[in-house]
């Protein structure tokens, strides 16, 4: 009987490990597929990702600046014209910037216009991959829920009944908050970096198309 119970526990544990590995593999495949769709230079990529910001400006664009394939080379990237969607996709090249790396929170920029022949308002729509948004949100929720769950279980066990226990709880909670703040700092710095790159390419596009 004991041997049978051990064998059952081994099978259950192996099944749980296999399910965990399979889950990680599925998540990895979804993330890779999401990034591939997000970075693909095709009209389908215009709607990929979550909209995280907008920038409005009145600009006079000159469509003849684009070549026959709809491309326009810029000092720090490129722009592709999609006249059927009245959109221009910005493609910052992170290798041309000072910090030559790409964060886990890339930002795409799509410029929507109404009229390229005369000054008109354009809208720069900023998008981020859904996988980056979802995984970041899940990480922050996991940390917050973990801190709260620890405090609740610690209180139920009577951990706050003594000064030493209360101090220990405060110290561990503070450590969790530091982890949370560090993660927030990383996300904010990465966003500012990617946004700065995108806006630099947008400014290059605006100057190139507005030039006489």
The tally of domains found in the chain comes to 2
- Rg of the chain over all Cα atoms, to the nearest angstrom: 25
Phi-psi region of 96 (alpha: psi -120 to 50; beta: other; left: phi over 0): alpha
**Whether 56 and 120 share a structural domain:** yes
Which residue segment(s) compose the domain that 35 sits in? 1-39
Hunting for tokens 């996300």 — which residue is that? 187
Sign of CA dihedral 164, 165, 166, 168: positive
**Whether 31 and 104 share a structural domain:** no
Is pTM beyond 0.85? Reply is no
Low-confidence ranges of the chain (pLDDT < 50): none
Give 158-211 pLDDT, tens digit per residue: 877 788 878 888 888 888 899 999 999 999 999 999 999 999 999 999 888 776
What is the DSSP pairing of strand 71-74 with strand 50-59? Answer: unpaired
**Three-class secondary structure assignment of 73-93:** EECCEEEEEEHHHCEEEEEEC
**Whether 23 and 82 share a structural domain:** no
Directed axis angle between helix 130-156 and helix 163-210, to 10°?
A: 170
């Amino acid at each position: 009987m004991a041997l049978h119970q051990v064998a059952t526990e081994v099978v259950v544990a192996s099944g749980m490990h296999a399910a965990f590995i399979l889950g990680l593999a599925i998540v990895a495949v979804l993330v890779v597929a999401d990034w591939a769709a997000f970075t693909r230079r095709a009209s389908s990529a215009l709607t990929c990702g979550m909209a995280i910001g907008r920038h409005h400006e009145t600009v006079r664009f000159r469509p003849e600046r684009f070549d026959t394939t709809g491309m326009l080379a810029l000092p720090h990237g490129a722009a592709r014209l999609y006249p059927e969607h009245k959109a221009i996709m910005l493609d910052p090249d992170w290798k041309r910037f000072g910090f030559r790396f790409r964060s886990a929170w890339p930002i795409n920029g799509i410029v929507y216009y109404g009229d390229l022949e005369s000054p008109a308002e354009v809208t720069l729509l900023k998008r981020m991959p859904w996988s980056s948004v979802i995984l970041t949100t899940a990480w922050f929720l996991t940390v917050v829920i973990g801190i709260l769950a620890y405090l609740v279980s610690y209180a139920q066990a009577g951990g706050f009944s003594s000064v030493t226990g209360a101090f220990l709880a405060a110290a561990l909670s503070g450590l969790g908050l530091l982890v949370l703040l560090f993660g927030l700092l990383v996300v904010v710095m990465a966003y500012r970096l990617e946004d700065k790159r995108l806006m630099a390419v947008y400014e290059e596009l605006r100057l190139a198309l507005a030039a006489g």
